Structure 1
Amino acid sequence: MKITKVTPLMLDRYLLVQVETDAGITGLGESGAWGFLEASKSAIEKFGRYLVGEDPLRIEHHWQYMYRFSHFRGAAIMGALSAIDIALWDIMGKHFDTPVHQLLGGKVRDKARVYYHVFGDTTEVLTEGIVDAKERGFTAVGHLTPFLDEDRDVPYFKTHADKIGDAIETVRGYREAVGTGVDLCIEIHRRMTPTEAVQLGLGIEEFHPYFFEDPVTPDNFDEMEYVASKINIPIATGERYSSIWEFEMALSKNAVQYVRPDVCLVGGISGGRKIAALAEARHVGVVPHNPLSPVSTAACLQIAATAPNFALQEYPIGEDVPPKSNMVTGMAEHDGNGYLTISDAPGIGLELKPGAIENCPETPREVITRLHADGSVIDQ
């Protein structure tokens, strides 16, 4: 069997890849370099020129070849490599008529617990979203910020006391709205300095968050270690990391209690399973990052199925416009009790729908970020 064609596909806000073979088997993957999909698309095309004529089943060899041929990497390159890796695993599963998780050693669980995305630019809207998620059967809610999803066109300003105090009271309101029947995954989106993050972490500890996600930027592992050492809430981080070595550095510093590998950014299923194993050796949980399409969800579920230390899966259906069901067949669905059933279909279990490109036209992401009231750039 040989690879005959590698095609990047821009659908809605997502970059998928199709890898075709002379055996009539097609694999589907996705890049997680969402801020720079155009660059990642070019990298897919470049890798494709190498892959045509190659055996698709030599996944690890191709991974090493693409990763190590150049002196330069980064998110756009790793997103492309990840998309291709997922597609090659999809081909291998279809070739052997078995799900990818069977090729990785078989399932250790039949379903994956998920957390629902909640969005809103007011505390009231976010709180209503948490209550709605509970009523729909979800037992965990994420993308849950105490700072609101405000428009990036609106300049930001709060005094320190207001910033920390309002955030604490917001989390208090979330907990009071749903009791202890829903786990709260508190998302900071790297908006705080290390000292601010410690103050907020100590202030919301009594509400027992499931985790405190990305309190500071990922640029300095020592800063995350500092925050983790000062608070009693598990730190979740890793969605911006693009290699197993970054995760190893964070783990070695005890800077993370839940790793958040993006399977579409860290080297695909191959990279994701290695990161899960690194975390398992330290009794650290795995919460795969997944703000993307159903292809990403299906790839993440292969890790969820096989990693003993899997904890929770991000499930991004809170902003399902246009419906992700327009893209593929076979997508995982919520069972009404907080879980996704893990498919036993061959490969990752998906097929691109006829007309998907027409039904999900490309929506480019423009360069826009939020400014402080004084005109300087802030993180959001």
Structure 2
Amino acid sequence: MQITDITVFSYKARYNDGVYTIIRTDSTIEGWSETAPLGSDYLPSSFTGEIAALKEIGPKIIGLDPRSIASVNAVMDKVMLSGMAAKSVIDLACWDILGKSVDLPTHVLLGGCLTDEPPAFSVIGFGDLPTVVHKAQTELDKGVIAMQLKVGDDPLVDARRVKAIRKILPESMKVWADANASWNLDQALVFARALGQEITIPLEQPCRSLTDCAEVGRRTGLPIILDECVFTMADLMAAHAAGVTGVNIKLSRVGGLTKARILRDAAVGLEMMVNVDDTWGCALTTAQNLQLAASTRPDRLRAVDLFAEWTNPLISEIPRMQSNGRITPVSLPGNGFGSVNIEHLGEPLFQITA
């Protein structure tokens, strides 16, 4: 089997622009995948940059066997050091093809379904206290059992908001605060002090650097989750050595499912907690996330992000969150979604052929 062409679509979802990649082979099998890079000031990745990366990387993998995913990754890494989201959509499409070629779900190929019903998490953003408390209550009423609370603005205001939300939630609810690397060390310590001793929740990526994040954990005793500063195995090892207890693995940030699986397995081996997430996305991103989450040990999986629960339109049928706040992976071969509704995508941005 050989890759014959790569077709790239972009479609405007409610929240942002997403990039959808389809890889065709010389058989009847097609592989689909999705990524949605955010602005250039968030990660070393952006919509325009990843489009350019796809145009540079794509021609180099034409003619390769998509089922030999390690070989495809080796070629991509030789062509370009950056372009992680571009590499991710190619890698994920190859996993989709591999699963379809052997009639197995991707999570089985990743080692099996270790978590039958991964817990989903919802995101509670910024807003005044009545608004965010109402939002949290609404999510609780839906059955959500894990929540990520966005912080990273004024640390005193953030602390009041987190305390107000935590107060209405049951103790069984998994809750953590995510600053998206928005604070410096001073601000993160102010937040922790304002939060007080009566509430202890994990804090995700409070600062930009690994060193500052680890220092927050050392001084406050709060469990620290890293996200934006973990790209490689070396980053993960340094994080664990510094006392970090968890990692949020975004497939597009690390270069796809192949590298995400390696990081996940190492984190689990180090007894760290794992969140499965991505920068943004919709239906296909949700299905992709679920493959990694389902193949993660349940005692090490904190939760998985289900973008399809709060973005639209959905271009494919995928599993949805159940009333118990969990999601059940399907037995469809590949990355676990039905046929893609191309009408939502419009004309391709471009196509790469031999």
Q: What TM-score does the superposition give when structure 2 sets the normalisation length? A: 0.87
Alignment of 1:206-225 (within 5 A): 206=197, 208-217=199-208, 220-225=209-214
* Residues 1:114 and 1:206: Cα distance change in structure 2 (over 3 Å): farther
- SS of residue matched to 2:75: helix
Q: Is the 8 A contact 2:61 2:76 kept in 1?
A: no
**Residue number in structure 2 paired with 1:197:** 188
Deviation at 1:65, TM superposition (A): 1.6
1:295-320: CA deviation from partner (whole Å, max 9, x where unpaired):
22212212111122222112235642
Return the match for 1:51 from 37, 54, 61: 61
Return the match for 1:337 from 324, 328, 334: 324
Kindly provide the amino acid, as one letter, of the partner of residue 10 in structure 2: M
Return the match for 1:315 from 298, 301, 306: 306
Kindly provide the amino acid, as one letter, of the partner of residue 127 in structure 1: V
**Residue number in structure 2 paired with 1:301:** 290
**Residue number in structure 1 paired with 2:21:** 17
**Residue number in structure 2 paired with 1:287:** 275
Question: Aligned partners of 1:170, 1:119: CA distance in 2, in Å?
Answer: 10
Question: Aligned partners of 2:270, 2:181: CA distance in 1, in Å?
Answer: 25
More displaced stretch, 32-41 vs 175-184: 175-184
- SS of residue matched to 1:40: helix
Question: Aligned partners of 2:179, 2:94: CA distance in 1, in Å?
Answer: 35
More displaced stretch, 29-38 vs 134-143: 29-38
Question: Where do 5+ consecutive residues of structure 1 fail to align?
Answer: 148-162, 363-380
Alignment of 1:72-221 (within 5 A): 73-74=81-82, 77-145=83-151, 147=153, 163-204=154-195, 206=197, 208-217=199-208, 220-221=209-210
The aligned length equals 335
- SS of residue matched to 2:88: helix
**Residue number in structure 1 paired with 2:77:** 67
2:249 pairs with 1:247: no
1:126-171: CA deviation from partner (whole Å, max 9, x where unpaired):
1110000001110122243374xxxxxxxxxxxxxxx444332222
More displaced stretch, 187-196 vs 13-22: 187-196
2:33 pairs with 1:29: yes
* Residues 1:244 and 1:33: Cα distance change in structure 2 (over 3 Å): farther
Kindly provide the amino acid, as one letter, of the partner of residue 285 in structure 1: M
**Residue number in structure 2 paired with 1:156:** none
Question: Aligned partners of 1:332, 1:242: CA distance in 2, in Å?
Answer: 28
**Residue number in structure 2 paired with 1:369:** none
Q: Is the 8 A contact 1:261 1:287 kept in 2?
A: yes
Q: Is the 8 A contact 2:125 2:149 kept in 1?
A: yes
Moved over 4 A (4+): none
1:34-93: CA deviation from partner (whole Å, max 9, x where unpaired):
3211221221222221122211111001101211334xx33xx01111110000000000
Deviation at 1:221, TM superposition (A): 2.1
* Residues 1:296 and 1:318: Cα distance change in structure 2 (over 3 Å): closer
Deviation at 1:339, TM superposition (A): 0.6
Kindly provide the amino acid, as one letter, of the partner of residue 47 in structure 2: L
Alignment of 1:250-289 (within 5 A): 250-254=239-243, 256-289=244-277
Kindly provide the amino acid, as one letter, of the partner of residue 199 in structure 1: V
Question: Aligned partners of 1:195, 1:275: CA distance in 2, in Å?
Answer: 30
2:7 pairs with 1:7: yes
Q: Is the 8 A contact 2:88 2:257 kept in 1?
A: yes
Question: Aligned partners of 2:233, 2:54: CA distance in 1, in Å?
Answer: 21
Question: Aligned partners of 1:86, 1:316: CA distance in 2, in Å?
Answer: 17
- SS of residue matched to 2:345: helix
Kindly provide the amino acid, as one letter, of the partner of residue 3 in structure 2: I
**Residue number in structure 2 paired with 1:367:** none
1:311-344: CA deviation from partner (whole Å, max 9, x where unpaired):
2112235642xx232x222x22011111111122
Question: Aligned partners of 1:172, 1:146: CA distance in 2, in Å?
Answer: 15
Question: Aligned partners of 2:268, 2:316: CA distance in 1, in Å?
Answer: 32
Deviation at 1:272, TM superposition (A): 0.8
Q: Is the 8 A contact 2:286 2:308 kept in 1?
A: no
- Share of identical aligned residues, percent? 21
Question: Where do 5+ consecutive residues of structure 2 fail to align?
Answer: 40-45, 350-354
Kindly provide the amino acid, as one letter, of the partner of residue 169 in structure 2: V
1:201-249: CA deviation from partner (whole Å, max 9, x where unpaired):
24325454542112111xx322122112112222122245433332232
